[in-house]
Chains A and B, each alone.
Chain A
Amino acid sequence: DVVMTQSPDSLAVSLGERATINCKSSQTVLYSSDNKNYLAWYQQKPGQPPKLFIYWASTRESGVPDRFSGSGSGTDFTLTISSLQAEDVALYYCQQYLHTPRTFGQGTKVEIK
């Protein structure tokens, strides 16, 4: 299985400050045939299901604020919240959808400092 490793496990950021979450895959998730990174980010708030936020490593889902951005390629990816808002407090998961079985990172908890 492709192992997805997120860092840090949790982070506390002041309101308005930048939050950065890293995700590393044990195998590349860049598919050479279409040059796309099969990497998604999900946001999960307490008591709710995960919600797709970003796919193809950097494409925001409709309705996701533009303070969220995804970057990276191959095996190393980053989710950045440029200016943390109170409503961004949540767990964030990365997931690869190139290899079978699909696998997720362990999650990163974002809190307000």
Chain B
Amino acid sequence: QVQLQESGPGLVKPSETLSLTCTVSGDSINNYYWSWVRQPPGKGLEWIGYIHYSGNTNYNPSLKSRVTISIDTSKNQFFLNLNSVTAADTAVYYCVRGYYDSRGYSNPFDPWGQGTLVTVSS
């Protein structure tokens, strides 16, 4: 069964770049679309963006100017970079499988990584 695990710094300074890695195990990253979703403390869920193994990406317009998602198929990993962070970017960041399935049809997010809390503070 596929499992996802986020990793990266838990503390980032304002104006710097938040960088996270998602390691996928139990399945090839080549078969699906992969997304990042975040959840500020005590708040709701926000989709950040997705990537396909082909390199095709799409980002939430609310974050598009600051977000880059990339992939390393040889390592079964994908990555999130969010630049110029502020306190409003403090959140639990989840990597998830989904947006489209392997055939290109829209699908829900499943499964989810455990999430990693990133705090933006000086």
Contact = CB atoms under 8 A, between A and B. Distances in A.
A and B held together in a complex? yes
A53 B58 CA distance: 25
Most buried by B among A49, A51, A97: A49
A98 interface: yes
A83 B35 CA distance: 34
A50 B112 contact: yes
B56 interface: no
A73 B94 CA distance: 29
Contacts of A93: 44-45
A37 B111 CA distance: 20
Interface string A7-35: 00000000000000000000000000000
A90 B100 CA distance: 27
B110 A102 contact: no
Q: Is the interface of B mostly helix, strand, loop or mixed?
A: loop
Number of contact residues on B: which range applies? 20 to 34
A76 B50 CA distance: 27
Interface string B56-67: 001011100000
Q: Is the interface of A mostly helix, strand, loop or mixed?
A: loop
Contacts of B46: 104
B73 to A, nearest CB: 24
Interface of B: 35, 44-47, 58, 60-62, 94, 98-99, 106-115
21 contacts: A40-B108, A49-B94, A49-B112, A50-B94, A50-B109, A51-B112, A52-B108, A55-B108, A61-B110, A93-B44, A93-B45, A97-B98, A97-B107, A97-B108, A98-B106, A100-B58, A101-B47, A101-B62, A103-B47, A104-B44, A104-B45
